[in-house]
Amino acid sequence: MTSITGKTKLFATLGYPVGHVLTPQKMNALFAERHYDGVMVAVAATPGQDLARVVAAFRAMRNFGGAVVTVPHKTGIVTLCDHLSPRAANAGAVNVIRREADGSITGDLLDGVGFVTGLQNAGETLKDRRVLLAGAGGAALAIAFALAEAGVAHITVTNRSQDRLDALISRLKNSFPRLSVSANDLSEGHDIAINATSLGLRENDPLPIAPEHLRPPMLVAEVVMMPEQTGLLKAAGWAGCRTHSGRHMLTGQLSAIFDFLTAA
Catalytic positions, please?
74
Q: How far apart are CA 264 and CA 260, in angstroms?
A: 8
Q: What are phi and psi of 12, to 5 degrees?
A: -140, 155
Q: How far apart are CA 103 and CA 186, in angstroms?
A: 46
In this structure, how many other beta carbons lie within 10 angstroms of the beta carbon of residue 86? 9
Q: What are phi and psi of 195, to 5 degrees?
A: -90, 115
Specify whether the CB–CB gap between 156 and 180 falls below 8 A: no
Q: What is residue 121's three-state secondary structure?
A: helix
Q: What is residue 147's three-state secondary structure?
A: helix
